[in-house]
A and B are shown apart, each in its own frame.
Chain A
Amino acid sequence: MSRLSRRRLLAGALFAKVFGASITGTAPRIVNAAERMPSSESLPWHNWSGGQSAQPTGRFAPQTEDELIEFLGRASGPLRPVGSGHSFSALVPTDGHIVVLDHLTGLRAHDPATLEATLGAGIRLAEIGPVLEEVHQGMFNLPDIDRQTLAGAISTATHGTGLSLNTLSAYVSGLRLVTPSGNVMELDAAKEPRLFAAAQVSLGALGFVTEVRMRNRAAYRLKKTTRLQPTEEVLQDFEAQARAHSHFEMFPLTHSKYASVQTIDETDEPIHNPQPPPDQPDPYDELMRALVHVPVAARGAMIDAAVAAAPQSEPVVDVSYRILANVRNYRFNEMEYSVPLDAGAPCLREILRTIDEKQIDAVFPLEYRYVAGDDLWLSMFSGGPRASISIHRDARFDYRPYFDVMEPIFWKYGGRPHWGKVHSLKHDQLVKLYPRFKEFLEMREALDPTGRMLNPHLRVLFGIAT
């Protein structure tokens, strides 16, 4: 058994011992009551966190692109594509049909010369790593969670970490789009540059992405190190570190002076990545659940004292996809905004200061990272690199009291919301944040003049009346 595993098991045992007693605190209001049973025979749809729900007329899961086209010809009413339900925003809910692209999956072609791979758009990110490894390729980057479908991830400009690394959408070199009227369009930068740029981040509003060609690189290994460091100290040197490492990010611990800091770099060292048993509760998750019952004012000193005495962790080495993504079992809701790089540190400081000053109950760490710029119409990073800041709230509890206080801070620093995460911006504000927003809306109007792909959320974003 490795040192890491022993420490983890020890922590788990200690945790179970000291937390085995009954709860004395007052638990916050639970909003996801378990008594919600569907009222009709058709099952309701909920996203991963349970924060978004719908009662669709029906679901359709085509086995092939032809089946999808045939369905579009006979179905009536609104249509929304769904990936794995990992968007926290209301991109999916509809009273029309939900179209599930799960069965359009797998590696369909690859090119050893260009290091491109064509994948079914319903493949999950977690499935891509192993199939690409077999053809000696690896994705440039992955987000923290890898259970999203490829179509869902690119449609929301999902991203990982890295000042020299783009959103997943920017690594798309071609895609097949089935329009709401059932026409198939093969798009890339050469054939249809404007439509392609719009379709790379489309919020599922232009049609159904059925196949994606990704630019990749030769398969590679990464080495990850994690340390605890005062947040302010990390911020002072953040840009230099972000330039020095392939991936550099931190998770500021709320109510604390410290952050968990993570660096990831390419390596040719042998694989060393001991894993705890997956069925063992994550002690960190258990801790967050328990901290809910500690008065907010008491958390900081408790966390800081423990952090100050903590030993260093050992680095881990593995193939890229096993290092970049993490399993997140503890369900939450999330808000994420990306601000210009020079606004990142002041924005983060104001958020942390506000959490402390207002004694906001926020047990989840924040996430702070840089992402490279691109030229995609609806990418949060269009026009240049940005600092991405995420806040999270346990999915059992109402996120609004926390997020409603934080969101104006993001606006103050010129933040653009992540399309798949909670935000309240509307058309008039989004037009000012995205120089190509009107062009995107014109493209949408041309492809979907009757608005079949719209739902209430998209109508608000696009300024289209019901």
Chain B
Amino acid sequence: MRSFVVASIALACALQFGCGKAESPPAPPSASSAPFADAVITEPGKQRWARTCAMCHVRGEGGAPKIGDAAAWEPRLALGEAVLLDHAVNGFNNMPPLGYCMDCEREDLRAYIRFMATGGGA
């Protein structure tokens, strides 16, 4: 029912107002080589990851790139460390600031991004 309503309104909206997607596409990738290559996750860090980032990045909630999904992570990594860290710290689209990790510091977030982008093998 809800989807029916959504689709009906979407159609009417598009026909009458030419509505498009509200989200802007990501900025074009900037040059960056092997971002987060030196970031290292610890065993306690993995446990904390499982209670924070994992809430969205395992199942892909809200469009979050899944752990190990290279195709999803590649364009994000191409944005470079500074941009990706800014998204993690300050939030971006559906991503909440700090990704529910209230005690994470910069190196923790760097390690988690690499951990997820490399499929948990980092």
> Residues of A at under 8 Å CB distance from B?
7-8, 10-12, 14-15, 18-25, 27, 32, 34-38, 41-50, 59-61, 82-85, 98, 100, 102, 105, 124, 126-127, 147, 226-228, 260, 277-279, 281-284, 286-287, 289-295, 298, 302-303, 305-307, 309-313, 327, 329-331
A-B contact count (CB 8 A): 211
Is B18 at the interface (CB under 8 A from chain A)? yes
Say yes or no: A32 contacts B91, CB within 8 Å.
Answer: yes
Say yes or no: B103 contacts A61, CB within 8 Å.
Answer: yes
B 41-59 contacts with A by CB, 8 A: 48, 51-52, 55-56, 59
The secondary structure that dominates the B interface is helix
Known: A279-B61, A310-B4, A329-B62. A290 touches B13 (CB 8 A): yes
Chain A to chain B contacts (Cβ below 8 Å), 28 pairs: A18-B15, A19-B19, A21-B19, A22-B20, A23-B19, A34-B87, A37-B90, A41-B106, A48-B97, A83-B102, A100-B103, A102-B102, A105-B51, A260-B2, A278-B61, A283-B10, A289-B21, A290-B20, A290-B22, A291-B9, A293-B19, A295-B17, A306-B9, A309-B4, A311-B4, A329-B56, A331-B91, A331-B94
Say yes or no: B96 contacts A48, CB within 8 Å.
Answer: yes
Say yes or no: B7 contacts A14, CB within 8 Å.
Answer: yes
Say yes or no: A24 contacts B12, CB within 8 Å.
Answer: no
A42, A44, A147: the one within 8 Å of B90 (CB): A44
Quick one: closest A residue to B92, CB to CB?
Answer: A34
Say yes or no: B2 contacts A284, CB within 8 Å.
Answer: yes
Within the complex, the shortest CB–CB distance from A97 to chain B, in Å, comes to 11
Say yes or no: A294 contacts B13, CB within 8 Å.
Answer: yes
Is B33 at the interface (CB under 8 A from chain A)? no
The secondary structure that dominates the A interface is loop
Chain B interface, number of residues (Cβ within 8 angstroms): 52
Within the complex, the shortest CB–CB distance from B46 to chain A, in Å, comes to 14
**Residues in B whose Cβ lies below 8 Å from that of A329:** 56, 61-63, 94
Within the complex, the shortest CB–CB distance from A112 to chain B, in Å, comes to 27
Say yes or no: B14 contacts A18, CB within 8 Å.
Answer: yes
Quick one: closest A residue to B1, CB to CB?
Answer: A313
B12, B86, B91: the one within 8 Å of A305 (CB): B12
Say yes or no: B63 contacts A281, CB within 8 Å.
Answer: yes
Quick one: closest A residue to B58, CB to CB?
Answer: A278
- Tell me, in angstroms, the Cα distance from A289 to B94 when the chains sit together: 12
Say yes or no: B100 contacts A12, CB within 8 Å.
Answer: no
A32, A47, A287: the one within 8 Å of B6 (CB): A287
A14, A303, A331: the one within 8 Å of B11 (CB): A14
**Residues in A whose Cβ lies below 8 Å from that of B96:** 48-50, 85, 331
- Tell me, in angstroms, the Cα distance from A349 to B113 when the chains sit together: 47
Is B66 at the interface (CB under 8 A from chain A)? yes
Indicate the member of A12, A18, A82 with the most B CB atoms within 10 Å.
A18
A43, A60, A100: the one within 8 Å of B106 (CB): A43
Quick one: closest A residue to B59, CB to CB?
Answer: A278
